[in-house]
Amino acid sequence: MQSIIMKLNKLFKIFMLVLIVVSVVLLVWGFLAGFLTNDAQPVDALLYWAYVMVGLALAGWVVVGGAIAVKNNPKVLVKAGILLVALVVVCLIAYLLAPGTPAVGRENIIPADSPSVLKLTDTILNLTYIAGIVAILSIIVGEIRVSITNRK
């Protein structure tokens, strides 16, 4: 068991080193090529690489965290499934509430996007509103709960 952990540790270190080297190479290429030249291709490359890095971090967090949670308590899979279904329902509600129309006063200023792009944009805005409301309500309920708990 100990040798497997050592091998995985070495594998992770090599993988992290490769990611750092690729990041530095892209950054140096961006500075050498000029970020505003070549139709801003260095900027696009850096943004796509940032998306890849965030995706890898999230995937690693979910996989490693999920594996540890399942090892400690297998019932956590049921809770994760319920949470996933709840998130899908919230996203579906946000999508159904999204009008998919251009912004008021901007109909003729910018070229009209396709209806699917407008619907997706409105869905993301609705999800942002929902997340903000949930955060504010969580803060209020948490403070009320702490004040009731501390009163006793």
Q: What CA–CA distance (Å, rounded) separates 146 from 21?
A: 47
Residue 77 lies in a domain: no
Residue type, 58: L
Residue 12 lies in a domain: yes
Q: What CA–CA distance (Å, rounded) separates 109 from 103?
A: 10
Residue 24 lies in a domain: yes
Cβ-contact 76, 69 below 8 angstroms: yes
pLDDT tens per residue, range 60-98: 888 888 888 888 888 888 998 899 999 999 999 999 999
pLDDT for residue 115:
76
Residue 23 lies in a domain: yes
Q: DSSP readout, 7-19?
A: HHHHHHHHHHHHH
Q: Can you say how many angstroms the Cα of residue 100 is from the centroid of all Cα atoms in its chain? A: 23
Please state the domain count of the chain: 1
Residue 144 lies in a domain: no
Show the domain range for 27: 1-72
Residue 17 lies in a domain: yes
Cβ-contact 118, 102 below 8 angstroms: yes
Residue 110 lies in a domain: no
Residue 26 lies in a domain: yes
